[in-house]
Structure 1
Amino acid sequence: MSKRQSAKYKLDRRMGENIWGRPKSPVNRREYGPGQHGQRRKGKMSDFGIQLRAKQKLKGYYGDITEKQFKKNYFEASRMKGDTGQNLIGLLERRLDAVVYRSKFTPTIFSARQLVSHGHVYVNGVKCNIASRLVKPGDEVTLGKKAQEMALVAEAQSLPERDLPEYLAIDGTKATFVRVPTLDEVPYPVKMEPNLVVEFYSR
C-alpha cells in the first residue's frame, strides 16, 4: 500500500479547490496555495500546466494513488473500446477502495484504503485486502463484523455532504456494484477533466 507522505489538505490548497467537498477544507477560508509564496499572483498557465493539474487533481482525488498505478489505468483505458477519458473514470470507480468510499462506509478515500488493507472488507463473501482490486458489475462488497461497529463507519454514514450514486445499490453495510458509471454519473464535488489527462499522457 502506498503511504501518503504530505498533508491531505495541501492538495486542496495547491489546486485552489475543495477536491473532496469536505467542510473542514482550508480552501473554504483561503483559496491561495500553501507556503509563503502562495499568495503571489499567478501567471497564465501553459497547456501542459493545465493538463498536469487535471491529472494531479484526478490522481489526488482517488487517495493520491501512485503514478505507476495511475499510468497503468490510463494505458488500460486506452486499450478499451470507446472514449479513453470515460474508460479511465470507469476503471478508477471500479477500484475497491473507491467503492467502499462511494458507499459511505468511510468518511475519506484514505480511510477506505486503510479499511481494505486491514482486511475489513469482503468481495462476494471473500476477504480482500487489495485496495486497487477492480470490482465487476454484480459484485457485492460488504464490511466485516468488526468494521460494522467502528465509529469511523457510523461517522461516514451520517455525513450530509455526500450523495450515494445510482450505480451502487446500498443495503446497510452491503453495497452491490450495479454498473460501470460514466463521468456525469460520478458525484465529484469539483469538475474533473479526464480528457485533459488523456491529452497529458498522449503527448
Structure 2
Amino acid sequence: MPTGVAIRDAREQLFDAAERVLLRDGPNALTSRAVTTEAGCAKGVLHRHFADFDAFLAELVLDRIARIDHQAASLRESAGTGTVAGNLTGALTALFGSVAVAIVALITFRDDLRARLRRSRPTGVPVLTEATAMIASYLTAERELGRIAADADVDTLAPTLIGAGHLLFADRKGTPPEAGAVHRVVTTVIAGVMR
C-alpha cells in the first residue's frame, strides 16, 4: 500500500489478517511480513501500532480472549433455556470452530509470546483458561437453577469439557467434527449430573 494512504481500523485489519494466516498456514507462517501482506499494507503499519511483533501477537490473543468474554455472557444468559447439552454443544462449537485452537497452538509455539502473556495471566493457557471459566460459570448458573445436580463439581466438569472439545477440534487441516459428535461428548461428560 502506498505511503500516506489511510487505513481504517488498522489494528482490527491486522488482527483479522493474522487470524487468516494462522488458520490457513499455521503458527510457523505467522510473521510480520505475512500479516502485513495479508492485510494489504506496508510493514511499517504494524510497527506504527505495536512496539514489536510479539506485542502485536499478545494484543491479538487478548483481543480474542475479549471475544470469549462476550461469548461467556451470552452463554450465562442462556441458562435455563434450551437444553444444557445443547447450550454446551453450541458454546464448544462456537469456541473451537473459531480461531481458538490456532491461538492455543500459537501460544504453545512462541516462547516470547507465552512469557509476555504470563505477565498478566500467570496460570493456565490463555484462551483455554478463559474458556474453562466460561463453561464453569454457565454450569454454576444451571446448578443454581436446578437443571444439574446441586453437588455437580463444575470445577472438574468445565476443564473436562474444554479438554474434550479441544481434542475434537485440534486437527487444523482436517474436517471439523459434526455437531452430533460434539453433542455425544458433552452428554457423556455431563450425564452423571443431569437432573
- TM-score w.r.t. the length of structure 2 is 0.29
Larger relative strand fraction: 1
- TM-score w.r.t. the length of structure 1 is 0.28
Indicate the structure (1 or 2) with the bigger Cα radius of gyration: 2
